[in-house]
């Protein structure tokens, strides 16, 4: 993967299967703070084939997350979101419970034509087959968010 500035990102170094022409889940992530609303310069991308057991993770831990947020954004857990493909090629997103009993963020699932619904801490929601939408992780204490767009290509 090449970043917007033309340099190869950490994800480009990892070997991954060629998903061209296959059924895949595509994710795009933007970390947004205050006045940057709408900016996409820091956008990262990842995808995975829609095969049973395939997993994509979002969080601060770069060793296990294909999409990593800034390390000092503590409202995001080491592994915050997990996208997992089931046996029928359908995907679900889970807000992974962290080490704290109460989260310092809120997570919403936003689908086209909807205002968004809360995803409970530790909860999961199916993603629409062949659909698109966004998962928004909002800091409870400041105007920062992690916006993860998804598109399930079938």
Structure confidence at residue 36 (pLDDT)? 61
For residue 53, is it within any domain?
Answer: yes
- Considering the domain boundaries, does residue 34 fall inside one? no
* 8 A C-beta contact, residue 55 and residue 62: no
The answer, yes or no, to whether residue 1 has pLDDT greater than 90, is no
Q: How far is CA 81 from the centre of its chain?
A: 6
Q: What confidence score (pLDDT) does residue 37 get?
A: 58
Residue 16 lies in a domain: no
Q: What is the pLDDT of residues 18-73, one digit of tens each?
A: 545 469 999 999 988 876 655 554 789 999 999 999 999 999 999 999 999 999 99
Which tokens go with 87? 């046996």
67 assigned to some structural domain: yes
CATH number for 101: 2.60.200
Structural domain count of the chain = 1
Asked if the structure places residue 89 within a domain, the reply is: yes
Q: Identify the band that residue 146 occupies on the pLDDT scale cut at 50, 70 and 90.
A: very high
Domain that holds residue 108: 44-127+134-153
- Assigned domain for 115 exists: yes
Q: Is residue 15 part of a domain?
A: no
Tell me whether residue 25 is in a domain.
Answer: no
DSSP E strands in the chain: the ranges are: 24-33, 44-49, 55-59, 67-68, 81-85, 91-95, 105-110, 117-118, 124-126, 132-139, 144-153
Task: Round to the nearest angstrom and report the end-to-end CA distance of the chain.
Answer: 22
């Amino acid at each position: 993967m090449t970043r917007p500035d033309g340099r190869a990102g950490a994800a480009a170094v990892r070997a991954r299967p060629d998903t061209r022409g296959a059924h895949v889940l595509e994710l795009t992530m933007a970390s947004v703070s205050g006045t940057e609303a709408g900016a996409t310069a820091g956008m990262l991308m990842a995808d995975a084939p829609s095969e049973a057991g395939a997993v994509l993770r979002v969080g601060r831990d770069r060793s296990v997350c294909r999409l990593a947020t800034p390390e000092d954004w503590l409202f995001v857990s080491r592994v915050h979101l997990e996208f997992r493909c089931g046996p029928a090629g359908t995907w679900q997103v889970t807000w992974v419970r962290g080490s704290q009993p109460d989260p310092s963020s809120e997570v919403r699932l936003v689908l086209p034509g909807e205002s968004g619904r809360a995803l409970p801490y530790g909860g999961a929601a199916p993603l629409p087959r062949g659909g698109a939408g966004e998962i928004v992780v909002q800091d409870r204490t400041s105007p920062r968010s992690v916006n993860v767009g998804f598109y399930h290509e079938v």
